[in-house]
Amino acid sequence: MPLERKVGIIGCGTIGGQLAMAIDGGSVGNASLVSLFDAVPGSAEGLKKKLLRSKPSSHADFERFVGTGCDIVVEAASQEAVRRFAAKILESGKDIMVMSVGALADPELLAGLKESAAENGSRIYVPTGAIAGIDAIRAAKGLLESVMLTTTKSPKALAGAPFFETGKVKLEEVKERTQVYEGPAAEAVRLFPANVNVAAVLSLAGIGFEKTRVRIVADPAATTNQHEITAKGGFGEFRFTVSNVPSPGNPKTSYLAVLSAIECLRSVCDDGMRIGS
């Protein structure tokens, strides 16, 4: 029987909270929740009070959090959290599961994390998130010629993205289905950090952040978060479409992303989808 994994969670919002609840309820199998961290004072303690069985320590100080007995940390906070904390987690000999995969579009950061994982015998896990077809993308990687991701969300789900700070597109003026962006995944994950982590997962599995193309569509009539993947190459062509119900409490996050995190953690004693050693 595999050893129980001791889990720490960074970020006590929608994904972190639902993952904590899943562990607490026994849905993650051989895992126990031992520590919570959120830079917002009181956030980790607030989540802790909602748990019925688990008694994790709660922290607003990262150094105290990373010093706890967890052996795998789930990052469920932000791309900035990955940049600030991932290397320190790996250097401490702990594994990490990255939810804010867009941070890995930075080649220097990704290379550094891979190196740290190898040096410290740690692993970096990447859930497939809110899309399907990743196994097919990985299988065809050597033959891929083009990959396009078209993401369609309601204006409400796209609100707050740095892209709209330019003023070129005003969400409040979008009254019908409108393509607001097209460009490389490397740029998309920066301009829409809370919306297209799926683009980062797709890029890592396939032809990279510069060659993977992303379209963002705002649709006032949209009731789901839709992701369509079209891939072409020497193998032929395939197309996947996933329409996800938004996660309760956060329209920017698809519920499938939460379910993917739970499943990834459940299978962490196997190979999972990982980067590094």
What averages of pLDDT result for each successive group of 10 residues across the chain (277 residues)? 84 93 90 96 96 96 95 95 98 96 96 97 89 87 96 94 90 95 97 91 96 98 94 95 81 79 79 44
What does the pLDDT read at residue 195? Answer: 87
What does the pLDDT read at residue 273? Answer: 44
Q: Which of 94, 123, 227, 266 is catalytic?
A: 227
What does the pLDDT read at residue 275? Answer: 47
Three-class HEC string of the chain: CCCCEEEEEECCCHHHHHHHHHHHCCCCCCEEEEEEECCCCCHHHHHHCCCCCCCCEEECCHHHHHCCCCCEEEECCCHHHHHHHHHHHHHCCCEEEECCHHHHHCHHHHHHHHHHHHHHCCEEECCCCCCCCHHHHHHCHHHEEEEEEEEEECHHHHCCCHHHHHCCCCHHHCCCCEEEEEEEHHHHHHHCCCCCHHHHHHHHHCCCCCCCEEEEEECCCCCCEEEEEEEEECCEEEEEEEEECEECCEEEEEHHHHHHHHHHHHCCCCCCCEEEC
CATH 3.40.50.720 domain locations along the chain: 5-130+256-276
- Determine whether 227 is an active site residue: yes
Query: How many residues are recorded in the chain?
Result: 277
Q: What is the pTM of this model?
A: 0.89
User: 5-130+256-276 belongs to which CATH class?
Assistant: alpha beta
What does the pLDDT read at residue 2? Answer: 60
CATH of domain 134-251: 3.30.360.10
* Cα–Cα distance measured from residue 109 to residue 274, given in angstroms and rounded to the nearest whole number: 16
CATH 3.30.360.10 domain locations along the chain: 134-251
Q: Letter for the amino acid at 122?
A: S
State the Cα torsion 105-264-37-101 to the nearest 10°: 10
